[in-house]
Structure 1
């Protein structure tokens, strides 16, 4: 990376990486270090919140689903301690509802796994009205249905019975849908 590219990061290049996949977070830390960041890693919500409170970073990459809770709790802690922190939320369970929730509480962007270091760097450094290009493969009808169900589920505070009632579907059917991975 050239010296002028480091300048794009600004004076504070601190980066907090929160993910419970140890090999992934280790590889990502090395890759981000090569891009000029000063990474610190955490593998749980508790460790991520502790790091955010002790040493609030300029940048953060937070996994949505962690073993001890929801990564959005870390995003809230980061926003509390450092409102200008640029946060990217990563997840293997991409859903519109969780993306909206992440952005509402202050995430800069939301990426589905697998996301490489270049995608993450671009998301962290994106400024202004820069819009991403339109998708080459738009969502299928099954995916749109799944996204709608996930949105209603999040709006009902992840209450399966209430979600099933609002969607006018059987509770067990909804549970089976929620247990499956998202369609392509």
Structure 2
């Protein structure tokens, strides 16, 4: 009897280990793929500056800036020295005390990017929301109406059901592209 119980426990542990390994392998692959896509989108910041007005500025290598992800700029050569020299953008605002220069970039008061790095302001709004083939299977969520800044929404290859809620048409004023193909 003890032998039979021990065999059942061993079989149970073996099955649990197998499923645990299989699940973590599948999950790990999906997670790795997501991480790779995120690395392609998010350029590594060599320095981060938090400005007094709440903006977050990332200093990114000039050769790894997101603009070069566009096919038209893939082999672009950077002109390091401008051909036209621009004057200062500082102005003086009269006050009771001595005049103080006001810069057009408030974040520069909190720090500057090192040479060879460019400032990129972190966006705090979502412009593109891409959720293709995510296994979504419900009516189209009305809560998408709160994405007022959305310009592109990709819900393709999901199992969403029902009509497009009228609130989305009213509130998503900047929406240019809505992909619901392969529903």
Fold equivalence (TM over 0.5): no
- Could you say which structure has the larger radius of gyration? 2
Shorter-normalised TM range: under 0.3
TM-score (norm 2): 0.24
